[in-house]
């Protein structure tokens, strides 16, 4: 579905078509000619018919065929290079997504799940008088920082998912092949 790959494959198909055309143009094409010729001196009209066939003694179309083969090789290499680039981008995006999901799971498991109990402990310590208001505010500020870090990690995970979807061209609508 990736437009760059689609374009390169169409160029490769066009190069294969040019090879077929070069092979066909290599063959001699007979030409038939005919007509009338008027003469003024004798006051007569003569008719002529002719057939000519070019003889490929020196030019057998090797240049056009070699050019077409080179274009096919170039197009094939371009398709192969683009496919390798796409595969590498997909693998890189998939690895990044895996790492971001692992980091998100670790953050949720080790920090976010414990934040509610930490808040309750800080509030209970403040109510019992074992800590002052500044300690409670500090804990609440840290819990907000943890929530912000969690949201940022969620965002980076979603961006990694979007990068993978884009790299695999799954966001492109399939176009019908003619």
Digit-coded pLDDT (tens) for 34-47: 888 888 777 778 88
What pLDDT score does 92 carry? Answer: 93
User: Predicted confidence band at 173 (pLDDT cuts at 50, 70, 90)?
Assistant: low
Q: What distance in Å separates the CA atoms of residue 6 and residue 17, rounded to the nearest whole number?
A: 17
What pLDDT score does 175 carry? Answer: 58
pLDDT exceeds cutoff 80 at 172: no
Digit-coded pLDDT (tens) for 53-65: 888 777 777 888 8
Per the CB < 8 A criterion, the answer to whether 93 and 47 are in contact is no
What pLDDT score does 166 carry? Answer: 85
Q: What distance in Å separates the CA atoms of residue 155 and residue 84, rounded to the nearest whole number?
A: 29
Closest by CA position to 107, among listed 152, 75, 45: 152
42 in helix, strand or coil?
Answer: coil
Report pTM. Answer: 0.64
Mean pLDDT score across all residues of the chain: 86
What pLDDT score does 48 carry? Answer: 83
- DSSP symbols for 69-90: HHHHHHHHHHHHHHHHHHHHHH
Closest by CA position to 54, among listed 72, 24, 28: 28
pLDDT exceeds cutoff 80 at 1: no
What pLDDT score does 97 carry? Answer: 93
User: Predicted confidence band at 12 (pLDDT cuts at 50, 70, 90)?
Assistant: very high
Digit-coded pLDDT (tens) for 67-115: 999 999 999 999 999 999 989 999 999 999 999 999 999 988 888 888 8
Digit-coded pLDDT (tens) for 126-138: 888 888 888 889 9
């Amino acid at each position: 579905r990736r437009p760059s790959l689609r374009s390169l494959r169409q160029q490769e198909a066009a190069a294969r078509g040019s090879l077929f055309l070069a092979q066909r143009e290599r063959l001699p094409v007979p030409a038939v000619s005919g007509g009338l010729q008027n003469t003024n001196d004798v006051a007569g009209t003569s008719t002529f018919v002719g057939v000519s066939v070019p003889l490929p003694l020196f030019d057998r179309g090797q240049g056009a065929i070699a050019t077409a083969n080179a274009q096919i090789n170039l197009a094939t290499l371009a398709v192969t290079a683009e496919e390798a680039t796409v595969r590498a981008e997909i693998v890189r995006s998939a690895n990044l997504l895996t790492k971001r999901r692992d980091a998100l799971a670790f953050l949720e498991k080790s920090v976010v799940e414990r934040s509610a109990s930490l808040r309750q402990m800080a509030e209970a310590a403040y109510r019992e008088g074992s800590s002052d208001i500044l300690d409670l505010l500090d804990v609440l500020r840290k819990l907000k920082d943890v929530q912000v870090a969690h949201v940022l990690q969620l965002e980076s995970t979603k961006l990694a998912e979007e990068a993978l979807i884009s790299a695999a061209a799954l966001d492109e609508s399939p176009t019908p092949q003619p």
